Amino acid sequence: EIKGLIFDLDGVIVDTAKYHFLAWKKLAQNLRIPFTESDNERLKGVSRLRSFEIILEIGGLTMSEEEKEKCCTEKNNLYLEYIYQLKSDEILPGVRKFLSDAREKGYKIALGSGSRNAKLILEKLEITDLFDVIADGTIISQAKPDPEIFIKGAKLLELPAESCIVFEDAAAGIEGAHAAGMYAVGIGTAENLPKAEIILPGLKGITIKDIINKLQIHIK
Ligand code: G16
Ligand code: MG
């Protein structure tokens, strides 16, 4: 029986990818690396350091660990300038309603985000109180597709993995959910998320009941 819902942040609850893009683009420009919106797709759900390594690969550059660390801090400062301006109406359509409806029905809700800025973003969106627990980038050592974030989320919810489902927009996150022993609802397209048990374009107009019904064919 499903009792817990674990939500990715970027791409599921809010489109912070556009701010990650703007910040990475500024940093890339300073390094004279060409960086496009389609390159940015490769960074979705990926950790901050790994994202920067992908950008270095695009530019054919190498750096010491220390220099990489410095650039990642610089990028995060640029990113935070956007996040400080984030408004609560930037929450993606239907998300607030979906979360409050699921809570009312007795489901436990966790955040499962690789971001180290997740708590600040939830505060800005004014939805911190809709979450029972928060698993974010500050409590993990392995980024998605590693299942660590989802395993920690379930643990904080005090639920076994098989009682949880994950909502994810990134292929790496779907992979992580499966490795944790959880079903995955993909937010996006079947083309981008072929492995998800269910695919939805977003959470608008949908209820947890609809999702549980659709999952019945998978649940033993
Ligand atoms: C998000 C984004 C990634 C970002 C990562 C780390 O993951 O999708 O692009 O690199 O967080 O974020 P930060 O630099 O804020 O620590 P998620 O797991 O919320 O989709
Ligand atoms: Mg995401």
Q: What is the pLDDT of residue 102?
A: 98
Mean pLDDT of 109-124: 98
Q: Please check whether residue 33 is in contact with residue 57, taking contact to mean a CB–CB distance below 8 angstroms.
A: no
Question: Is 24 marked within a binding site?
Answer: yes
In angstroms and rounded to an integer, the radius of gyration of the C-alpha atoms of the chain is 17
Q: How many residues does the chain have?
A: 220
Q: pLDDT tens, 20-64?
A: 999 999 999 999 999 999 999 889 889 999 999 999 999 999 999
Say which residue the tokens 């992979």 belong to: 175
Q: What is the pLDDT of residue 220?
A: 60
Q: What is the pLDDT of residue 44?
A: 87
Q: What is the pLDDT of residue 45?
A: 85
Per DSSP, which regions of 59-152 are E strands? Answer: 108-112, 133-135
Mean per-residue pLDDT of the chain: 96
Catalytic positions are 8, 10
What lines the ligand 1 site, CB under 6 Å?
A: 8-11, 20, 43-48, 51, 76, 113-117, 137, 170
Question: Is 51 marked within a binding site?
Answer: yes
Q: What is the spatial distance between Cα 11 and Cα 24, in angstroms, rounded to a whole number?
A: 17
Edge-to-edge strand ranges of the sheet holding 4-7 = 133-135, 108-112, 4-7, 164-168, 183-187, 198-200
Q: pLDDT tens, 136-175?
A: 999 999 999 999 999 999 999 999 999 999 999 999 999 9
Amino acid at 160: P
Residue in 20, 40, 91 to alter for ligand 1 test, most ligand atoms within 8 A of Cβ: 20
Taking CA atoms only, the protein residue closest to ligand 1 atom 15 is 115
CA–centroid distance, residue 121 to ligand 2 (Å)? 13
